[in-house]
Chains A and B, each alone.
Chain A
Amino acid sequence: MARSPFSPSFWRSPLRGPWLTSVLGVVLLGGITVLFVTGLVSYAAYNPDLSPVNDKTPDKGVLGFYLFSWPTDPHWLYRLNQGVHVTLGITLIPVLLAKLWSVVPRLFTLPPARSLAHALERLSLLLLVGGALFEFVTGVLNVQLDYIFPGSFYTLHFYGAWVFIAAFVAHAVLKTPMALRNLRQLREEQNDLIAPNPAEPTVSRRGALWFVGGGSLLLFGTTVGQNFDGPLRRTALLAPHGGAEPGSGPGGFQINKTAAYAGIRDADTSEEAWRLVVVGANGHTVRLTRADLLAMPHHSAALPIACVEGWSTSDQWWRGVRLRDLAALVGHDEDPPDVLVESLQQRGAFRRAALRANQVADPRSLLALAVNGEDLTPDHGYPARIIVPAAPGVLNTKWVARLTFGDL
């Protein structure tokens, strides 16, 4: 047996070959396309072009070319999009690992480059493989709150995705026709991936594919439940928001950041201390106690909490004051404008967040004071929180202290 990986006879697995690589490649072509599109959609959901407080990537330039006003319908839009993005990403990990395994002998090709085109293609593969792993690793770490990557998750994952997709599209254009040919032909072409001196097989290629699919199914089955309540959530055995709900009763549903973690003190949220400051475009300012808010007309909305980390709750029954009624209170009787929402929270990436006029105008957009028939719990944003249909979780600001209406 050859000792050097640069020798073709070093690689002995009888599984490697164009058929296996092509099957895995076609699965990734579909899967990664969905990941990229749902990622772009998730980015747009933050309305980064609305206000600097929503924008973690102000240098995006043309990469934000497709941005649009994020809608409020259907109200489960972000929940579905982000559930697909994260769950599919985790499900594809075995496929990615298998695909990389199937082509690893090519890393040791000699001569390193046969032509300029080949040299450029190999350089592009560094961006492809490095980019894919970078995106999967930052995503998987972020959903587990393990912030060891060097910088803001939003910046790294967003720009990393564009570097990766540039290499991915080139790779797909160069390789997809060949992959489809490999799959259509029953007989396998001779190819550098086929071991010249294969070891005795321990499993068939179909068996190997079942194995990869089994890995995906296992990850899917222990993750997807974190998008549902009750018994289904308990099936998500290893997902961060799987298992039992945190607590019971009306407030016993998933929490992104607790009051204690966000540094919210009871002294700041008490009836005596807390005031909601509402400012209009003309400088018109009102200060409201919680009792003032309770005296205003109340409305209900059944809306979920859906997090960028790929977990969500089913619809909760929120009750509170419409944002457009609060806008009217400070002079915006017709066509409510955008609003800047500020939390009592002293630190945290989204302690200030902006909502667009279409979100403010939606009759289901509330400054909620109660959920599921009871006052909000401290962890769900007592004394008052924002809840907007289809908005990402972090834009549903908790412990609201100030609303500034006006075009942003």
Chain B
Amino acid sequence: MPRRGAARVRSYLPAYHLEAPRDLSDALERMAREPGVWQPFAGGTDLMVLLEAGKLAHRDFLSIWNIPELSGIEIAGEYAFLGALTTYTEIRGHSALAREFLLLCRAAAETGGMATQNRGTIGGNIANASPAADTPPALVVYDAELELVSAKGSRWVPYRGFHSGYKEMDLGSDELIRRVRLPRVKAGWKQYYRKVGTRRAQAISKVCFAGAALVESGRIKDVRIALGSVAPTVLRAHETEKILRGEELAQPALELAQNVLGREIAPIDDMRSTARYRLRVAQNLLAEFLEVVAAG
């Protein structure tokens, strides 16, 4: 039968390997046996784009898409646990998660269209390490921790320092992200998330701002602020937080905080936007965040 259609992939497909391990321990064993050879492949929403553009440098992948130990959302006791394979759709559809971790649900809703949300995963979003990723700022605000597993065992690391530089992270070549853990302590905090892109849907962020504040007796008792697209990695605005902690809600030192934020972030010019725009908008979003907090 004549071959209909034609693939327009800019990569030499026969050179790529994708295999499905039997289960989690099989996957970890292979990664331990051949360190650096196998990379995990989840929903493919990032890796397949690179393959089609001829930019997927790595060749050998393990499909972890259906591994049960990496899936599922569990809210019990002190933490909410999300398996690394939790999709954006699953995050959005989980009502308990939406109640306590609003910003994560907001972030999931902003990532691509329905089809992307059905296949994109939180683990993939973290491991792809794009500075413009939508969930990391929410994860930072919620003091997320990651469980990393290997054939040797598992360890928990704070998400906060996980990315050491552009596309660099504290993940061994034999390790997988297994779960994300969010302490259930911010339900009473005022929360704010805003992603600024070129259009209303399916947009890569120019600036992304996630913030949460605990208000007590008219003062900001505690605050978390994290931004995307303004640095080589997701950025927690520590210095800005310091300025705001203890401030009176009615009269927070907004201008000072904005100045400090401006010095703390390192936005760049690229084909999507300018450093100046990102800086000014980040500062404006800080003001909007504080208004939201004050309005209750």
Tell me, yes or no, whether A binds B: no
B residues at A contact (CB < 8 Å): none
A residues at B contact (CB < 8 Å): none
